[in-house]
A and B are shown apart, each in its own frame.
Chain A
């Protein structure tokens, strides 16, 4: 069965440090890939997405992600974390379901804590 794995349930980094959140997917073909962020008490906001082409994609809030086909990974990175980045981060894939109904499959999330 297709799946999305975020192996890190919780990550703690110091403000100003670099960040990498891991995401692996299990699927025969390359799906559409996404990273969402959920701040406390808020809905999900799209950070970035990958459909095809350049494997390094830039998103909002200074985030980027790199697609590696050989590793079935789509890791999220940020060179210098800000206290406001503390949130939960979800990786998601769209398994190219038929028609226009995009069905997202989400990973279990990574909770990011930022230390002052």
Chain B
């Protein structure tokens, strides 16, 4: 299907385990983003990527690792999950065209629970 998808949609894991959340977009957008959504905080940017093999930190990057070997995929890895990482994670993408505003399009989210 066209658009931006996230998998899994729901995940329960235990403290200390490694977890990878997947994000896939079919628009060939240059930019991709990972946000976490917590009550009282809205969405906060974790990492973003301007293109394949180019990533940069956002507001709350600690405890997370990203990679982007292909334009269409932007996985987010929690190397050793902690309870504080229980959250809803949203992936987004945008075109990155120069000279125009690039709206971000959001995926449906992944609800992660760390026990």
Q: Which residues of A are at the interface with B, using a C-beta cutoff of 8 A?
A: 4, 6, 32, 36, 41-46, 49, 51, 90, 92, 99-104, 106-109
Contact = CB atoms under 8 A, between A and B. Distances in A.
Given A42-B108, A43-B109, A32 B43 contact: no
Given A43-B108, A43-B109, A103 B102 contact: no
A87 to B, nearest CB: 14
Given A43-B108, A100-B102, A101-B96, 6 more contacts: A44-B90, A46-B103, A92-B42, A102-B31, A102-B102, A106-B42
- Do most interface residues of chain A lie in helix, strand or loop, or is the interface mixed? loop
B108 to A, nearest CB: 5
Leading 7 A-B pairs by shortest Cβ distance: A106-B42, A43-B106, A44-B106, A106-B43, A100-B96, A108-B42, A43-B108
10 contacts: A36-B106, A44-B43, A44-B92, A45-B106, A100-B30, A100-B50, A100-B98, A101-B48, A101-B50, A107-B42
